[in-house]
Amino acid sequence: MKIDIIGAGSLGLLLAGRLIQTGNDVRLWCRGVEQCQRLGRDGLTVTYEDEREPITISEDQFVSAPIGEFAGAYLEEPSDWIVVTVKQNTLHNDLPEFLSLLKEEQVHMICFQNGTGHMEMLGGMLPNANLYVAVTTEAAKRKSLTEVIHAGAGEVWIGKWSLGDGQAHSIHNDLKANNLIEVLIMAGFAAFLSNEVDTMIYRKLLINAVINPLTAIWRIPNGELLSSEQRLQLMKEVFEEAIMVYDFCEITYDKDAWDNILQVCRLTSGNISSMLADVLASRTTEIRWINGSLVEMAERSGVSAPLNRWLCQLVEGIGV
Ligand SMILES: NC(=O)C1=CN([C@@H]2O[C@H](COP(=O)(O)OP(=O)(O)OC[C@H]3O[C@@H](n4cnc5c(N)ncnc54)[C@H](OP(=O)(O)O)[C@@H]3O)[C@@H](O)[C@H]2O)C=CC1
Ligand SMILES: CC(C)(CO)C(=O)C(=O)O
């Protein structure tokens, strides 16, 4: 399968490494020229935290190029799938410029972002595109421009974004999506199709809305959220406000959603959350598309979500 991956960060390198290893034709689109040159010289490596052998991909097994060349290359030689693995802020602020040439195209594009808001934006910008959402519990950490650590195996759930014509299609009859799942499974991912990807997006949003800002503000690994009553109390208050917003917006959530968040803290106890990692590296965080989405959803329903608003302001104020 021919696959374009936009964003050679943690998730992008992980997907690229596994997909190239299993024989797919991957083009990896980077922000920086230096990274393209390093990938073109050294190839890429996926390593593990246990004793598993690393995956080593040599430079001649794939193409890496600057994002500015992506649209031209796609128009000349379209791929089967465009996989988007940039962060939300890049997707909203930078990608429109690079994707505008594709606005008439019927691309198949799949987006791996945490948070919400990006699919609506892409839907408006690429009206003919077939847009898909991936919700994943994989954990990847880029170690250098060419090396990524696969820090935790999870699942990848794929759904079609907005079927649009009001008819009840099942994604299980979608040939392209089935092909993608096959390719991901061959590459070693636990990948599934879902007709209820919305439920998954909002389940993940709840997890990220509670864990990410608090770990970023307190500068602690995920597991340490559970280490004091005071921290648990604040987590619970953020959770309850988010649930109140879900109730107003008629978004369904699991009965054991709170226990599920505690379980994620335990399972990822040594992890630095992506938001804390962004704060530590002085990068823009995804808070606007996580807790900020909850604030907007609340406002649209005529209620307020003051705790989530505060969290947005606290995180956005770090390092300003
Ligand atoms: N990592 C994980 O385990 C998981 C991540 N996610 C979600 O996936 C998304 C990606 O996360 P992650 O991979 O961790 O993020 P990273 O920050 O590791 O990677 C983002 C990549 O996008 C690149 N980029 C920035 N601007 C551009 C541009 N204009 N054109 C092309 N590439 C660009 C960055 O380049 P540069 O480094 O040069 O700035 C970087 O390589 C996020 O929304 C995250 O929430 C979801 C689940 C798990
Ligand atoms: C689940 C969690 C909190 C794991 O660290 C995550 O998705 C993130 O850090 O963004």
CATH of the domain at 163: 3.40.50.720
Based on the domain organization, do 264 and 283 belong to the same domain?
Answer: yes
149 and 13 in a common domain: yes
What is the residue range of 133's domain?
Answer: 2-195
Whole-prediction pTM: 0.96
The best mutation among 18, 86, 121, 268 to test binding of ligand 1, ranked by most ligand atoms within 8 Å of the C-beta, falls on: 86
CA nearest to 26, candidates 38, 18, 36:
18
CB of 94 shorter than 6 A to ligand 1: yes
Answer yes or no: do 66 and 144 share one domain.
yes
Q: Which of 179, 195, 211 is the last residue of a domain?
A: 195
In this structure, the answer to whether residues 98 and 191 fall within a common structural domain is yes
Q: Is the CB of 276 under 6 A from ligand 2?
A: no
pLDDT at 164: 53
- Give the residue whose CA is nearest to atom 5 of ligand 2: 273
Per-residue model confidence (pLDDT) at position 319: 72
Q: Which of the residues in the chain have pLDDT under 70?
A: 163-168, 320
**Cα–Cα dist 292/3, whole Å:** 32
pLDDT digits (tens, 9 = 90+) for 216-237: 999 999 999 999 999 999 999 9
Token pair in block for residue 194: 């879902």
The candidate with the shortest Cα–Cα distance to 154, out of 175, 139, 170, is: 139
- Over the range 117-144, which residues count as b (16 or more CB within 10 Å of their CB) and which as e? bbbeebeeebeebbbbbbbbbbbbbbee
Q: Are residues 95 and 234 in the same domain?
A: no
Q: Is the CB of 274 under 6 A from ligand 2?
A: yes
The reply to whether 260 and 280 lie within a common domain is yes
Other Cβ atoms less than 10 A from the Cβ of 300: the count is 11
Query: Among all ligands shown, which has an atom nearest to the Cα of 115?
Result: 1
Instruction: Mark which of 168, 195, 222 sits at the end of a domain.
Output: 195
Domains identified in the chain, total number: 2
Element (H, E) at 143: none
Complex confidence, ipTM: 0.98
Q: Is 212 in the pocket of ligand 2 (CB under 6 A)?
A: yes
29: β partners? 6, 65
Among the three residues 195, 213, 232, which one is the final residue of a domain in this structure?
195
Residues 139 and 270 in one domain: no
Q: Which ligand is nearest to the CA of 136?
A: 1
